[in-house]
């Protein structure tokens, strides 16, 4: 067992004050004797120095006898380059451009409804018929007059080609025939408005007006037709991502209600920044072959806004910060076997994903970084490596 030596200065001060040792601090203060108070303070300072010196000797001896008390135990991880894909997380609602309420183009009684709710229809299929109010009879009369005008024009044309008759008779017959033809076409267009047709292929989601009702253009809703093939999600993206979120970017879409995830792409990125909330619109195409995705369904979006093919990622938990706000980690240098020296490395960081953060500078691929025990080591301190984690 090593002997412990008392420093000479501390021992001298202790002997010089021993005559005042039996006096308590309260007694000395009560005496109001400046010389005795100073002596008592010197006595206590000597005792404190003696205790500190003895503690230091004991600590040194413990470290020599127990090496584990001297070298911190740590684990490390290897900084390797890898692909880092960052996602912007947003929410949106499913929409479709083919979700339409059909209105009539003609006033009258809805005489026939040919479809029911849930029926699939094709583009141009007749859905309903409105009473034309006698337009069909008027069309018949106009067609008769048009036939007569055509016959008259054809005869007058033959005579004119044979230089028989006047030019004015020919032109009058031609003008009358053209006018009658236009009148017939206009009447057919009016009658065509009495037939309600499907504007696109889809499913009749709702029959709003029953047969026999009087309908008005722009006022009476007849049907709702929906096509679930051309679905999309529209969401607002903050303007700071205007250079990162573009057409063709990968998107991960999750539908919590359906417990379903799909991978798709940005279909369109808007060119207008909304001054009210400083965002721009993004449209994301949604495949829906099985028809389970419905309009207004809530979706969670992860849009790929940044990718680094050679990124170094480290856990955020091992990063410390000094008084000047610099971020740093400890790396291993001068490694020999399972021992090495802890070296502080100032780093700059980028984007985060989960519990990891991208290191932009300060660490290179292949460096060994202290993981567990990082907050208990000091600069240039020798450490013992228990394990290494390679990511």
Q: What is the CATH number of the domain that holds 362?
A: 2.40.420.20
Asked whether residue 16 carries a pLDDT value surpassing 50, the answer given is no
Task: Provide the mean pLDDT of the chain.
Answer: 85
Q: What is the DSSP letter of 371?
A: -
* CA distances in angstroms from 385 to 172, 304, 363, 371, 374, listed in the order given: 109, 38, 19, 10, 12
User: 232 and 268 in one domain?
Assistant: yes
User: 300 and 323 in one domain?
Assistant: no
Specify the number of domains making up the chain. Answer: 4
Domain boundary among 225, 245, 278: 225
With cut-offs at 50, 70 and 90, classify the pLDDT of residue 17.
Answer: very low
Residue 281 domain-assigned (yes or no) = yes
User: 93 and 39 in one domain?
Assistant: no
pLDDT in tens, 208-249: 999 999 999 989 999 999 988 888 999 999 999 999 898 999
With cut-offs at 50, 70 and 90, classify the pLDDT of residue 376.
Answer: confident
User: 366 and 340 in one domain?
Assistant: yes
d(CA 368, CA 220): 74
User: 334 and 303 in one domain?
Assistant: no
Is 230 or 100 the better-scoring residue by pLDDT?
Answer: 100
Domain boundary among 307, 322, 340: 307
Domain boundary among 174, 192, 225: 225
User: Taking residues 333-337, what's their average pLDDT?
Assistant: 84
Residue 287 domain-assigned (yes or no) = yes
User: 105 and 194 in one domain?
Assistant: yes
Lowest mean pLDDT among 4-8, 198-202, 296-300, 356-360: 4-8
User: Taking residues 28-35, what's their average pLDDT?
Assistant: 82
Residue 75 domain-assigned (yes or no) = yes
Instruction: Give the CATH number, domain containing residue 296.
Output: 2.40.30.170
User: Taking residues 327-332, what's their average pLDDT?
Assistant: 90
Structural domain for 353, as ranges: 69-82+309-390
% of the chain beyond a pLDDT of 90: 37
Token duo for residue 230: 């051309």
Q: Where are the alpha helices (DSSP H) in the chain?
A: 8-16, 25-31, 34-65, 135-161, 167-192
User: Taking residues 162-182, what's their average pLDDT?
Assistant: 88
d(CA 377, CA 72): 7
pLDDT of the residue at 346: 92
315 CB-contact burial (10 Å; exposed 0-12 / middle 13-18 / buried 19+): middle
* pTM for the predicted model, two decimal places: 0.57
Q: Are 266 and 315 in contact (CB under 8 A)?
A: no
Residue 1 domain-assigned (yes or no) = no
pLDDT of the residue at 70: 63
pLDDT of the residue at 276: 92
User: 246 and 270 in one domain?
Assistant: yes
Residue 379 domain-assigned (yes or no) = yes
* CA distances in angstroms from 62 to 57, 69, 341, 373, listed in the order given: 9, 8, 22, 22
Token duo for residue 49: 């120095």
With cut-offs at 50, 70 and 90, classify the pLDDT of residue 301.
Answer: very high
């Amino acid at each position: 067992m090593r002997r412990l030596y008392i420093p000479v200065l501390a021992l001298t001060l202790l002997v010089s004050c021993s005559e005042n040792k039996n006096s308590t601090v309260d007694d000395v203060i009560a005496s109001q004797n400046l010389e005795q108070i100073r002596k008592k303070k010197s006595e206590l300072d000597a005792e404190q120095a003696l205790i500190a010196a003895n503690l230091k000797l004991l600590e040194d001896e413990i470290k020599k006898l127990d090496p584990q008390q001297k070298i911190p135990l740590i684990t490390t991880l290897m900084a390797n380059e890898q692909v880092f894909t960052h996602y912007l997380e947003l929410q949106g609602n499913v929409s479709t451009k083919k979700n339409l309420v059909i209105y009539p183009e003609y006033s009258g009684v809805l005489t026939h409804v040919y479809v029911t709710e849930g029926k699939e229809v094709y583009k141009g299929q007749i859905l309903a018929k409105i009473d034309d109010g006698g337009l069909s009879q008027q069309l018949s009369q106009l067609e008769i007059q048009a036939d007569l005008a055509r016959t008259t024009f054809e005869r007058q044309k033959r005579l004119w080609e044979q230089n028989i008759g006047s030019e004015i008779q020919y032109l009058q017959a031609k003008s009358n025939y053209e006018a009658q033809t236009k009148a017939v076409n206009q009447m057919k267009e009016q009658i065509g408005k009495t037939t309600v047709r499907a504007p696109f292929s889809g499913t009749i989601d709702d029959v709003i007006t029953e047969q026999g009702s009087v309908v008005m253009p722009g006022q009476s809703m007849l049907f709702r037709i929906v096509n679930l093939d051309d679905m999309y999600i529209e969401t607002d993206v903050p303007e700071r991502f205007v250079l990162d979120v573009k057409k063709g970017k990968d998107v991960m879409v999750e539908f919590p209600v359906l417990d379903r995830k799909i991978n798709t792409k940005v279909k369109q990125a808007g060119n207008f920044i909304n001054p009210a909330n400083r965002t721009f619109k993004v449209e994301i195409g949604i495949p829906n072959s099985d028809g389970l995705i419905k309009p207004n369904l809530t979706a969670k979006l992860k849009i790929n806004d940044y990718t680094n093919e050679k990124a170094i990622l480290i856990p955020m938990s091992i990063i410390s910060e000094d008084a000047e706000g610099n971020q740093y980690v400890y790396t291993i240098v001068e490694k020999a076997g399972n021992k090495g020296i802890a070296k502080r490395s100032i780093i700059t960081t980028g984007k985060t994903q989960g519990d990891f953060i991208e290191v932009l500078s300060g660490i290179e691929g292949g460096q060994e970084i202290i993981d567990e025990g990082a907050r208990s080591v000091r600069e240039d301190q020798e450490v013992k490596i228990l394990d290494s984690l390679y990511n």
